[in-house]
Amino acid sequence: MNKAILSYLPLCVICIIAIACVSFSEIKQADLLCSNVEISIAENPHHSALLNIDDVYADLNSNKSMYIGQNLQSININEMEATLLNDPTIIDCETYFRMSDSTMGKSILCIDIQQRTPIMRVLSSKGTFYVDENGIMLPLSKCGSARVLVVSGDIHNDYQAGVNIFDQEEYKKLQDVFTLVTKIRNDKLLLPLIEQVAVTSQQEYILGTKIGPSTIEFGSNSNIDIKLSHIKAFYTSEKTKENWNKYKSISVKYKNQIVCTKF
């Protein structure tokens, strides 16, 4: 009997120590004060910043001085995260406390933010906005313009912050052009060549280019992959490279054809 009790004794000691450590930690946290705030906004190599530190404080309706000297238990980091995630330009964030290396009894409030990645800028008759790689509508940024494909023409949608264009039927035009833009963006040859997609009233696309013919008549969104392969064939042709400046436009609108128009 005594041996059985003794066999459980180490486990009991460990549990007591663990409980004591947790209690001690909670007491210590109650005594800790916030000595600084560090906001980190992860850079995206594909575009300039969509927000800055001032925007983060504006989202929180606060400023740095409001946190300095505050007891850690009075700062609700979960609520801060939820508030920041309401910003349509933020895809993820994490708030936590880190012990100060130089100041005993004080801690640093850390806010780590990841921005969304816009892939197209929409010039609608009712406003201008971005759409990110997941279909989320984003506002323009005061920090600079993202270098993304521009979508213009017969687009008449309102901007709705944080709305996914695939959740509403009224954004069907944007859904279709999103598919084309995504394929262009994921192609190493086409992305540097194409800078704009114009939507006509017939729901066809005209692509604006940076090199070679100024426009490409793309047609409807049917057979997208085949049409893009024709464009790539045109641009990789040795004969084409020698005569780029002679072509005004090309068309891949028609099945299995590349129609070139010279000046």
Fold of 32-115: Ubiquitin-like (UB roll) (3.10.20)
For 47-97, how does the pLDDT look when each residue is reduced to its tens digit (9 = 90+)?
Answer: 778 999 999 999 999 999 999 999 999 999 999 999 999 999 999 999 999
Q: What architecture is domain 118-262? A: 3-Layer(aba) Sandwich (3.40)
For 96-137, how does the pLDDT look when each residue is reduced to its tens digit (9 = 90+)?
Answer: 999 876 556 689 999 999 999 999 999 999 999 999 999 999
Characterise 76 by phi-psi region: left (phi > 0), alpha (psi -120 to 50), beta (else): beta
Q: What is the pLDDT of residue 14?
A: 56
Domain boundaries, the chain: 32-115, 118-262
Partners of 123 in the β-ladder: 128
Work out the pLDDT band at 10, boundaries 50, 70, 90: low
Instruction: Please name the residue that has the structure tokens 């005569």.
Output: 243
Per the CB < 8 A criterion, the answer to whether 181 and 224 are in contact is no
* Helix, strand, coil percentages, rounded to 5, for the chain: 35, 30, 35
| Cα–Cα–Cα angle for 233, 234, 238, rounded to 5 degrees | 95
| Cα–Cα–Cα angle for 214, 258, 241, rounded to 5 degrees | 55
Q: What is the pLDDT of residue 29?
A: 55
Helices 172-185, 224-236: axis angle to 10 degrees equals: 40
Longest dimension (CA), the chain: 102
Rounded to the nearest angstrom, the gap between the alpha carbon of residue 41 and the centroid of all alpha carbons in its chain is: 12
| Rounded CA separation 137/164 (Å) | 6
Q: What is the pLDDT of residue 11?
A: 56
- Single out the residue of 202, 232, 209 nearest to residue 252, CA to CA: 232
Residue 86: which residues within 8 A CB-CB, separation 6 or more? Answer: 59, 162
